[in-house]
Structure 1
Amino acid sequence: MGWNWKTMTVGLLLVLGMLGKGAHGGGNGRGKKEISGAGVFYLGQDRDTWRPLVQITVNLSEITDVKSRFQLRTFDPEGTIFYGDTKSGEDWFVLSLNKGFPMMQICKEGMLLSVTGGPKLNDGKWHTLEVSNQGKFVVLVVDGTQPLVVGLKPKEKDEPLSGVLRLALGGILINTENLLVQYKPQMDGCIREGIWLNLTLPWETEEEEMWQCHENIKPGSYFPGKGLAVFNSSGGHIHTVITLEFWGDFKEMDGTICSIKKPGEEPLFYLTADRSAKVSVTLTFGAETIRMQPASSRLRITFHSDAVKVHLDREESSAMIPVSDPGYADMWAVGSLSIGGLLGEDDTGTQFLTGCLEKIQIQGKNLDMNLAFNEMSIYSHSCPA
């Protein structure tokens, strides 16, 4: 059987219809937790990069309603919202964000189709998305205006609905090589208030505990004291100035803001915060330390060939550590940069940060937490406000 447009649309709408106002867990006898469809879902929870947060399998014959609506909120410009397929993944649909814009990708009878458009959605506000079927077209409407339309007319005739439909939220169930447009999958975003269909079957998840969606948010990266983001520093030898900048309320932070280490060695440089101390921020380089009490929200560190300097808001240096360590010159070339924790000799993290970093920049460019190569246990693009 082919996947006609009514079948596809039912898949899109069903996944939205299972989203509601509270997630309650139970067992299903298969080692997975069952989550009520009446839930507010946080999509950015740690897991394998492309693995869905929740998923469900339903009989197509049980579906009677083909209209759907839900709300999405995010500052993240990229990531998977939901996925649906038939024929064990031969025909599939993915809704995601691409540079903040809605993107739909479809595979039908081996033909790939992608469309991106509509308004940007990563402004941190709740947006209402509505999906509907209009003949041979699937129409996505955001906040009642600017529809995004996808149309396809298969050669074979429409057939009665039969078989099963697999649905997934926050991930996909096919090989990523099948996608027409590649993107970073995990999204720091929330979905709520799905009003769809007549089915009340529970979703399944492998997660023991579901992360919360904060009531109000602001741009930044929130570290709840459970993990860190690790990057290959790859900044080259320090023959020119390398600049690392942080924005945030340092008096409200606790733990390691960042550290830099080379493989198999202890960190050579790290920056920590202690909100219980009068002098709240400490920079350590080797055996040397600088203690500061930032009066503002910006802290700038410059790595020169012979010194590490710290600036607070103004361009004038507020403190400096002369450098003679022989390992300093290639620290950025072969080392790892961790944000939100202290990397040890065994490359595991400790002293995790609790607090919000509103912005992080290297050489004047924003650092995207989604580019970290580890599972982070942080909110990559939002902080509780």
Structure 2
Amino acid sequence: MRLFETIFFVAMITRVPGNAVEELDPYPQFLDPKQAINLAQDWGHGYPAGTVHIDLLNITSSSSSFEVRTFDPEGVLLFGDSRGGHDWFLLGLRGGRPEIHIHNQMAKVSVSGGPTVNDGEWHKIVVRSQEHRIVLEVDDQESLRIGHVSEGVTSSLDTTMRIAVGGILTNSSELMEPLHIPLDACVRNWVFLSVTPKWLLDPIFLPHSKRCFASHRKGSYFPGSGNVAYRTSDLPTASAQTGEPWTLSLQMDLHLESLSFSLLSVSHPETGTILLLRGQDKNLFVELGNDTVVTQALADVGGSDGYKFHLSITPKSVTLQCGNEKEIADISEGHYSALKHSWTDKEGIVYIGGAPTSQEESPGHFRGCLENIRIQGRLMDLDSAWYKSNSVWSHSCPPKLLPITRPSS
């Protein structure tokens, strides 16, 4: 039996109806951690969510299968290697479509194809080899056929294969095409080459505890700890046209689960926090330096309804709009200049979900769901941030959030 023929290489993707739900917690609800794994356990390092070792001489099937559900367009589903890491394969997503990388002593191949599968529904992926071919079938329709070359298992003294999910076991620079490693996805009903991994049956083998929502929708979920950071050098300088005064535009859809939180801040090594947007008792405050320049009360809405939020800062004014309500205030020349310097000096940092000075479990961190985050008009992907806490879900939110009420006077 050939080494890479036994690994996987027909991918058949079909939609799986229904959604097995175990209602463990009222807000949010999760799938049973013994039956589903969240792949998005580690950000920034590419470490897998779990790894299993298989002796290729003892396998009884050349097929592997699992079900996956995600809104994330790019990342790693699984990675396998053998021969001390010299031979490896990768199955991931790019643009929501499956992508396969093969790397061994005789071939280096990277191929993608098939329909998008990051629609938030469960899809079943079955992987097997057909002689010297890799065939990709989507919804029972063949969409990709690849010829490949590999050596037999018996030609190597090392017959152990490592299979990892949600990460890679090699340096990312070795990939044929650059790929964002983290994938906010959930998998279930997984069998590798006739082996059901131990860590699927016993979740204590997993290094982290982020779980799969019972059902989900698009967005980025902040559980009340952790934050996301972008360097201003990686962001558009201004939303205005060239030659016009510098302006700042921040937009997002806001779904709250907490009354007190830091939503967004802009900091600089020389000046500290120059801009802070925070919530307190269902009021939003815009602070520049030590001054509160705008205050706006939030209307009572359900957590799933949320607010459309837009903060705009020009040389003359600060405008805060949340839903249909809008507040406008003048801005001093000093505050405007300090904010502009923090942004255009390229050393500024934009924090979302919690101020940089907050402790990880501080109640000041945002709890809820953010959607359609735009900075200077650019739609942001949290996986491309300069830093992201592992506690934050990049591409998924629970459909129902914990309702909050204004405190009684």
Question: Which range, TM-score by smaller chain?
Answer: 0.7 to 0.9
> Please, which of 149, 174, 179 is the counterpart of residue 183 of structure 1?
179
> Please, which of 248, 252, 265 is the counterpart of residue 246 of structure 1?
252
Superposition deviation, residue 12 in structure 1? 9.6
Aligned match of 1:16: none
Contact 2:254 2:307 in 1 (8 A): yes
Superposition deviation, residue 138 in structure 1? 2.3
SS at match of 1:172: coil
Q: Which amino acid aligns with 1:227?
A: G
SS at match of 1:328: helix
Cα deviation 1:356-383 (Å, max 9, x = unaligned): 0122112222111011122422001111
Contact 1:80 1:96 in 2 (8 A): yes
Distance across 1 between alignment mates of 2:219 and 2:152: 50
Distance across 1 between alignment mates of 2:333 and 2:359: 25
Aligned match of 1:282: 285
Cα deviation 1:19-71 (Å, max 9, x = unaligned): xx99xxxxxxxxxxxxxx96311011135521111112221112111223211
User: CA 1:371 to 1:96, structure 2 compared with 1: closer, same or farther past 3 Å?
Assistant: same
> Please, which of 68, 75, 83 is the counterpart of residue 72 of structure 1?
68
Aligned match of 1:30: none
Superposition deviation, residue 137 in structure 1? 1.4
Q: Which amino acid aligns with 1:335?
A: G
Contact 1:128 1:143 in 2 (8 A): no
Contact 1:105 1:179 in 2 (8 A): yes
Contact 1:75 1:219 in 2 (8 A): yes
Distance across 2 between alignment mates of 1:71 and 1:379: 19
Alignment: residue pair count:
358
> Please, which of 328, 332, 347 is the counterpart of residue 319 of structure 1?
328
Distance across 2 between alignment mates of 1:92 and 1:173: 9
Contact 1:84 1:165 in 2 (8 A): yes
SS at match of 2:42: coil
Superposition deviation, residue 126 in structure 1? 1.0
Contact 2:9 2:136 in 1 (8 A): no
Farther-moved stretch of structure 1 (290-299 vs 175-184)? 290-299
User: CA 1:114 to 1:10, structure 2 compared with 1: closer, same or farther past 3 Å?
Assistant: closer
Q: Which amino acid aligns with 1:218?
A: R
User: CA 1:252 to 1:158, structure 2 compared with 1: closer, same or farther past 3 Å?
Assistant: closer
Contact 1:59 1:164 in 2 (8 A): yes
Distance across 1 between alignment mates of 2:366 and 2:106: 47
Aligned match of 1:362: 375
Farther-moved stretch of structure 1 (255-264 vs 281-290)? 281-290
Give unmatched runs, 5+ long, in structure 1.
14-20, 23-36
Contact 1:53 1:171 in 2 (8 A): yes
User: CA 1:251 to 1:285, structure 2 compared with 1: closer, same or farther past 3 Å?
Assistant: farther
Farther-moved stretch of structure 1 (181-190 vs 359-368)? 359-368
Distance across 2 between alignment mates of 1:273 and 1:105: 46
State whether structure 2 residue 139 is matched by structure 1 residue 143: yes
Contact 1:228 1:349 in 2 (8 A): no
Cα deviation 1:45-98 (Å, max 9, x = unaligned): 135521111112221112111223211111111100001111011111000101
Let me know the Cα RMSD of the aligned residues: 3.2
User: CA 1:175 to 1:317, structure 2 compared with 1: closer, same or farther past 3 Å?
Assistant: same
Contact 2:8 2:128 in 1 (8 A): yes
Aligned match of 2:295: 291
Aligned match of 2:398: 384
User: CA 1:231 to 1:201, structure 2 compared with 1: closer, same or farther past 3 Å?
Assistant: closer
Contact 1:342 1:349 in 2 (8 A): no
SS at match of 1:370: helix
Give unmatched runs, 5+ long, in structure 2.
13-19, 22-32, 239-243, 300-305, 400-409
Aligned match of 2:316: 306
Cα deviation 1:254-290 (Å, max 9, x = unaligned): 411111111154311111224xx2x432222221242
SS at match of 1:129: strand
Distance across 1 between alignment mates of 2:211 and 2:361: 23
Q: How does 1:1-385 map to 2 (within 5 A)?
A: 4-9=3-8, 39-154=35-150, 159=154, 163-195=159-191, 197-200=193-196, 202-203=198-199, 208-234=207-233, 235-236=236-237, 239-250=245-256, 254-274=260-280, 277=281, 279-286=282-289, 287-295=291-299, 297-313=307-323, 317-325=326-334, 326-333=337-344, 334-344=347-357, 351-376=364-389, 377-385=391-399
Distance across 2 between alignment mates of 1:323 and 1:221: 34
Percent of aligned pairs with the same amino acid:
28
Contact 2:10 2:126 in 1 (8 A): no
Cα deviation 1:338-369 (Å, max 9, x = unaligned): 0100123x998952110101221122221110
Q: TM-score, normalised by structure 2?
A: 0.78
